[in-house]
Amino acid sequence: MHKVYHRIEQVAGSVITVRADGVAYGELAQVVGTLGTSLAQVIRLDGEKVFLQVFAGSRGIATDAQVRFLGHKMDVSFTDALLGRVFNGSGEPRDNGPALDEHRIAIGGPSVNPAKRIIPRKMVRTGIPMIDVFNSLVESQKLPIFAAAGEPYNQLLARIALQAEVDIIILGGMGLKHDDYLQFRDTLEKNGALSRSILFIHTAADPTVECQMVPDISLAVAEQFALQNKRVLVLLTDMTSFADALKEIAITMEQIPANRGYPGDLYSQLASRYEKAVDFEGAGSITILAVTTMPGDDVTHPVPDNTGYITEGQFYLRNGRIEPFGSLSRLKQQVNGRTREDHRTVMNTMIQLYASYKETLEKQSMGFRMSAWDRKLLRYGERFEKEMMDLSVNIPLEAALDLGWQIMADCFEPEETGISSKLIEKFWPKKNA
């Protein structure tokens, strides 16, 4: 059967080198170290030398450790039995359930033929006005949440997951704190969503290589469900940990870094994951919602910067609120014309007024005199922040639009908003004089 090799020539970081022949690029191997058995993947071939990335890290690998090549690529079992289960980045159970072995599928498969994609047209309702009204989430969209450390991004992610109308939720956790993982699991369980969820969790204490595999394994499973006509929502948190894992491994492999230590192919690496978001012609869809923490709250950091070029917009989470400026859903135009006729107008007008409010705030802080108009704006801004932007607000789109009209009517005269008279007539709330 499979030959076993015993001579490890080199151990550096998580990469070990053995001499072997007949080994295929990308093939898996089993490495038996003093601390246990781990999977490893071939990442380079050079003559007889085979470079293997050991998933559990190289700690405890002896120079005479056993290496047995398995003759296949990294794969994961795909069955309905995955639902409700928790796994690690190598696809092994993290809960106390049994390991799954039937119907294995390769991970990191080829990309979708652009000719088989369709233009996304279905809105994903979340009950969060800052998303539904101002930056609608669309099925098959890939959208990151940009946040500084300490923002409640995981709570937001969990809430969207629970409220979104999807068939299956797949959570890929990378570098998660153990508490955060437990919180995710408990939230899903408490709300009865665990039975339609699958969790692939890498915590900060687990080996780096497993972190790097979480997106691939999550998306490979998502893809199979989508092909079975399911609408799948994939949550990835935190993609900056994923990028850092790439960086760590690239540096160990002595690759020349491009920007702040990150490898030159960071863009392609991120893109090949995010681009798995798809609306299949004649089958289901994959929507990806990811968290990208911004080191130093700096959006020009290589990870958020490259992400912004790949994804279809972004949500900025700042001070516990989704910031209306900077946040963008590139696909909102595809859906918000067909929700309610006042949707786009409310969206644009309220944001313009909020921008004016921000200018007034600036004037106020510089000690300029406040005009009657300024005072109206101040009143409006406060209500907007409290009743629309606050993340605890949980109302359907239509109610949010009505609320928008109410706030505007309470603060302004109709003509001050610049809304067309046709819509004013239909939607402007009548004053109870």
User: Which residues of this protein are in contact with other proteins, per CB under 8 A?
Assistant: 21-27, 44-48, 73, 109-120, 227, 255-259, 263-265, 267-268, 271-272, 274-276, 278, 280, 283, 300, 302, 305-306, 308-310, 312-314, 325-326, 328, 330-331, 368
Q: How far is CA 417 from CA 352, 361, 380, 412, in A?
A: 9, 19, 12, 7
CB of 25 to other proteins, least distance (A): 4
Buried b (16+ CB within 10 A) or exposed e, 207-220: bbbbbbbbbbbbbb
CB of 52 to other proteins, least distance (A): 13
Adjacent-strand bridge partners of 30: 39, 68
Strand 142-147 relative to strand 285-293, pairing? parallel
Cα(286)–Cα(265) distance, integer angstroms: 24
Reduced to 3 states (helix: H, G, I; strand: E, B; else coil), residue 309 is helix
CB of 147 to other proteins, least distance (A): 17
Cα(167)–Cα(284) distance, integer angstroms: 10
Q: Which two tokens stand for residue 426?
A: 């239909």
Cβ distance to other proteins smaller for residue 243 or 403: 243
Question: Who's near 268: CB < 8 A, 6+ residues apart?
Answer: none
CB of 91 to other proteins, least distance (A): 18
Cβ distance to other proteins smaller for residue 267 or 321: 267
CB of 430 to other proteins, least distance (A): 28
Cβ distance to other proteins smaller for residue 192 or 296: 296
Q: Which two tokens stand for residue 90?
A: 């190598």
Cβ distance to other proteins smaller for residue 30 or 272: 272
Cβ distance to other proteins smaller for residue 20 or 128: 20
Q: Is the dihedral of CA 162, 164, 170, 171 positive or negative?
A: negative
CB of 103 to other proteins, least distance (A): 18
Cβ distance to other proteins smaller for residue 28 or 377: 28
Reduced to 3 states (helix: H, G, I; strand: E, B; else coil), residue 78 is coil
- 153-163 vs 178-190: helix crossing angle, rounded to 10: 20
Cβ distance to other proteins smaller for residue 48 or 398: 48
CB of 304 to other proteins, least distance (A): 9
